[in-house]
Structure 1
Amino acid sequence: MEKALISVIMEEFMDDSLEVDNFILQTTSKASVANLSVLACFDDGSRSTESRPFDYDDHDDIPSPEPPRRKRKRGRGRGGSAGRKRGRGRGRGRSFDPVPLEVLAECVIPQYSDLDFRIQFGMSRVTFEELCMHIAPALAYRTITAEKKVLLTVWILRSRESYGAVSERFDVSKGFLHGICSSVCSALAAIQKDFIKLPEPHELDKIADGFYQRCQFPGVVGAIGCTHIPIREPSKNTEWFINKEGSFSIQLQAVCDDQLKFLHVHTGCPGLLNNAQVFFDSPLFTRLEDNYLPSTKHLLGDCSYPLKLYLLVPFPETDEMTNEQKRFNENLAYTRSEVDLAVKLLKQKFKRLKFLDIKQVDDMSKVIRAACVLYNFILYKENIEDDVKELELVEGEDEFEVDLAPEPYPVSSEISESALAKRLTIANSPMSLQELKC
C-alpha cells in the first residue's frame, strides 16, 4: 500500500511533461499522505515568523514583476470551499494540497531516477551530496538537517514561484522558509572566494589558449559583461534602481573564462548606473589597475567599457573604419559573447534571478552571489553541454529579459597610447572568422 501511494505521489509530483521551464508539484490528499509510515510534518513550534532574515510583505503573496505578470486570483483560503489554484505559468490552473517537506525529502525524492533528479535540481545526486558536505558545517541543524535546507533552497532558486506559494506547497510558514533560504545563501556566499576567483599568473596562458582555440582571438583571459536582474521596488533609494526602461533592477557584473566559469562577479549596483560605472565601482577595477595582468593579456568588453591596456573594446563605428577594424570588432563581439552565454545559463538554471521579490538590497545581492557560487560549483563537477543544449531549446521565450543595449563609453583623450597601439596591432594581425568553435 505504501509503495503504491509513493508511486502516485511520484507520478503527480514530477508532472506528466517534466517541462524544464517550471516543475509544479501535484500530490495526493493529506489523508493519503498520512497513510505513509513517514515522519510527520513540522509542528507549529518550528514555524515561527518572528525571525525574518529576508524582508518581504505578507500581503504581497504574488509580487508584480516588470514586465507585469497577471496576479493569480485568490480563493476563499484553505478552509473555504473554493480553495486556491496555482497556474503552471502557461495558463493551466491546477489545485494542490501541501506536501510536508519531510515527505518530499524522505519518500518522494529518493524514488527519483538520476535523470529526474538532475532535471528537478539542476545537478546530479553526487554533486548535490558534495555540495551538502561542503556547506553543512556552516548550517545549524536544529529542527531540520543541512540536506533538507539545501534541497529547499535549491528548489527556491530554480523556481519562479513566490515565497508564499512555495511555503504553501511545503506546508511551512514564510518566515521559516525565508530563514532556511537566508542561512543557505549566506553559507554559499561565504565560500565565493573558493569557487569564483581570478586566475593565478601561471593559469593565464591556459585560459588564453582555450579562448584562442575556440574563437581565434589572441591573449584573452576573460570576457566581461553586465546584466540587469529584475527586482521588486526596494525599501530604500528607490529612484536609483529604476533603469532606463523604467523598471526596477539590480546589476550583476561578471567575467567568465573559456569554459563559461565565472572568474569574478560583482553585484549590488542599482539599475540606474551604466556598465562603466559598475566597472569602476567594482574591486576588479582596482585589481586590474594594480597591474594584475601582463601587457600581452586582456579582458574583452563591449562598447560600454573604456579602452585599457588590460581591457580591449571595439573600434568606434565610423564611416572611416578599415576592413581590419571591422573584422576586429566582429571577432571581439563573437569572443566576448561567451560571458553573455554564461549569464543566460545562470538565469536558466536558477530562475529566481528572473525576478527577485525581496526588498533589501543586501539580501538581493546575497541571493545572486549564492546562485553564482552554485553555478560554478556545478561546472567544476559536471559537463555544461547539456545545459547549453537546454538553453537553445528555450531561448527567446522569456518575457522577463530586461538586459539593455549598452551605452557607448564616451571617447576620451585620456586613452593611453599603449592601449590604442595594442588594439591596432591585434586588428592588423591575421585573425580569421572561418573556423571558430564557440
Structure 2
Amino acid sequence: MNLSRAIYLNSMENSDEDLEIRHRKPRVYETRPNFLKDMDDDEFITKFRVSKATCSMLLQKIGWKMEHLTSRNYALSPEDKLLLALRFYACGNFLVAVGDFCNVSTSSACRAVKEVSFHIAAMSREYIKFGDPDDVVEGLQKLSNFPNVMGAIGCTHIRIKSPGQRQDEAFRNRKGHFTLKVQAVSSAQLIIQDLVARWPGSTPNSTIFENSRLKQRWESGEFQNSVLLGNGYKSSKYMMTPVAKPTTEAEKHYNQSQIATVNIVSKCFEAWKQRFPVLSYGMHIHVDTAKVVIVACAVLHNIAIQEKDPLPPKIEDSSPESFEDDEEIDDIVDASDGFHRNDFINKYFDR
C-alpha cells in the first residue's frame, strides 16, 4: 500500500469519530392573532367589512364545513379561514399581503379564500332572492312614484387579470380593461335580488338579460303585472326603459320617474363595492375563482344589510378607477314593445 492511500484511509477512520450529528431545524409556527377577541367593533368592521356578530353567525353556518380532520401542521381553523377571506374582500390586495396580515403563507391564504368563497356563494339561493312583492313594490314606488316595480336592473364591471386564453379579448371592455360584467337587480333597500356574474366585459346588457333565468321567470308570468326598470336593455311588456326622445308631458314625467328610480341599482353597486373594495380594485386570481368571489360578496352584502351592519368607511389611501361602462338609451324599439311602454305611460303618467 502506497503512502498516499494509507493517509486517505486513516483520515476516513478519524472523520467517522469526529462526525457531528446534524439535527433538522425544528419548524416554528407563528402565533396567529385573534382578531375577534383583540379588536373592538369599529376596528373590526373597518378591517373585515362586517360586524363581529355577522362573522360569528357565518361561522355557525359554514364553520363545520371547513373543519380539518386532524390538527397536524398547525392547520387553519374555520375562524382563521373566514377572516382570511374577509380580509381579502376588504383590501383588494395581493394574497401575499393578506397572508402576511394573518401570519400565514400565500398558498394557505389562496386555499382559504377559495374554500370560504365557495361555501358562502353556496348560500346564494338563501340570500339572493326577491323579497315579498308587496314590500318590494312599495319600497321602490316611494323613491319616485313609479308603480309596480319589482326591481331596478343594471350592470357593473369587476376588473380581473387577463384570462390568458384565446377568447381573452372578449373580456376587454370599452375602456380597455379586462373585466367581468355583472348584472344585478336591486331593491329600494339596496338588496341584491338577482345576480349574474359570468359574462365577459364586452358583453352588451341586453345579451346578458336575454340569456338569463330572470327573463324566463318574467316570461313565464311568475311576477304577473310587475315590471323591471333598466337602461341599455330592450324594451318589453315587463322591461321599462327610458324614452330616448320624449315629446309629450306624459313621456317626460315617465322619464323623470324611471331614471330617478333605476338609479337605485347604481347606488347598490356603489355600496357593494364600498363594503368590499376588492370589487373596485380588481382581483389577481383565476377568473373562475373571481366569479365565485363576486357571488360570495353579494351574499355577504345582503347578509350585512339584513343584520343592520353599518357601511364601512371608504379606504382613504387610494381611489380606485371607475370601470363603469353604462350603455346609452336604445332609440330603436319594436312596434309591439313600444305599444306596451306607451300603454304603460298613458295608464300611469298621463295626468
Verify the 8 A CA contact 1:219 1:298 in the aligned structure 2: yes
Verify the 8 A CA contact 2:155 2:326 in the aligned structure 1: no
Q: Percent identity?
A: 24
1:312 to 213, 225, 240: 240
Whole-Å separation in 1 of the counterparts to 2:48 and 2:105: 22
Matched letter for residue 407 of structure 1: E
Match of 2:4 in 1: none
Computing the radius of gyration from Cα coordinates, the structure with the larger value is 2
Whole-Å separation in 2 of the counterparts to 1:282 and 1:250: 16
Matched letter for residue 371 of structure 1: C
Match of 2:350 in 1: 428
Which moves more between the two structures, 271-280 or 131-140? 131-140
Matched letter for residue 94 of structure 2: S
User: Given the two structures, how large is their TM-score scaled by the length of structure 1?
Assistant: 0.68
How many residues are aligned here?
318
1:159 deviates by 0.5
Which moves more between the two structures, 366-375 or 117-126? 117-126
Within 5 A, what are the aligned runs for 1:140-155? 140-142=67-69, 143-155=75-87
2:153 to 199, 211, 224: 224
2:264 to 338, 344, 356: 338
Verify the 8 A CA contact 1:196 1:376 in the aligned structure 2: yes
SS of the counterpart of 2:91?
Answer: coil
Match of 1:196 in 2: 128
1:244 to 165, 174, 177: 174
2:323 to 402, 411, 415: 402
Which moves more between the two structures, 166-175 or 123-132? 166-175
Match of 2:197 in 1: 267
Match of 1:415 in 2: 336
Match of 1:378 in 2: 304
Match of 1:127 in 2: 54
Verify the 8 A CA contact 1:301 1:313 in the aligned structure 2: yes
Whole-Å separation in 1 of the counterparts to 2:285 and 2:47: 27
SS of the counterpart of 2:32?
Answer: helix
Within 5 A, what are the aligned runs for 1:145-184? 145-184=77-116
Which moves more between the two structures, 278-287 or 371-380? 278-287
Matched letter for residue 268 of structure 2: A
Verify the 8 A CA contact 2:181 2:202 in the aligned structure 1: no
1:414 deviates by 5.2
Whole-Å separation in 1 of the counterparts to 2:254 and 2:85: 44
Within 5 A, what are the aligned runs for 1:87-126? 100=30, 102-105=31-34, 109-126=36-53
Verify the 8 A CA contact 2:155 2:181 in the aligned structure 1: yes
CA deviations on 1:251-304 (whole Å, 9 max, x unpaired) are 110001121111101011001111111111221112111112212x211112x0
Whole-Å separation in 2 of the counterparts to 1:308 and 1:399: 36
1:135 deviates by 1.3
Verify the 8 A CA contact 2:81 2:113 in the aligned structure 1: yes
Whole-Å separation in 2 of the counterparts to 1:334 and 1:250: 26
Whole-Å separation in 2 of the counterparts to 1:168 and 1:122: 18
Cα 1:243/1:298, change in 2 over 3 Å: same
Matched letter for residue 387 of structure 1: L
Cα 1:365/1:414, change in 2 over 3 Å: farther
Verify the 8 A CA contact 1:308 1:419 in the aligned structure 2: yes
Whole-Å separation in 1 of the counterparts to 2:289 and 2:296: 11
2:63 to 136, 155, 173: 136
Matched letter for residue 325 of structure 2: L
* Over 6 Å off, 4+ runs: none
SS of the counterpart of 1:226?
Answer: strand
Cα 1:283/1:427, change in 2 over 3 Å: same
Matched letter for residue 179 of structure 2: S
SS of the counterpart of 2:108?
Answer: helix
Matched letter for residue 207 of structure 2: Q
Whole-Å separation in 2 of the counterparts to 1:314 and 1:110: 51
Instruction: Please say if 1:205 is aligned against 2:205.
Output: no
Query: What's the RMSD between the two structures over aligned residues?
Result: 2.3
Which one scores higher on RCO, CA 8 angstroms, separation ≥ 6?
2
Whole-Å separation in 2 of the counterparts to 1:342 and 1:275: 17
Verify the 8 A CA contact 2:32 2:103 in the aligned structure 1: no
Whole-Å separation in 2 of the counterparts to 1:336 and 1:426: 17
Unaligned residue ranges in structure 2 (runs of 5+): 1-26, 70-74
1:144 deviates by 1.7
Verify the 8 A CA contact 2:170 2:202 in the aligned structure 1: yes
Verify the 8 A CA contact 2:160 2:287 in the aligned structure 1: no
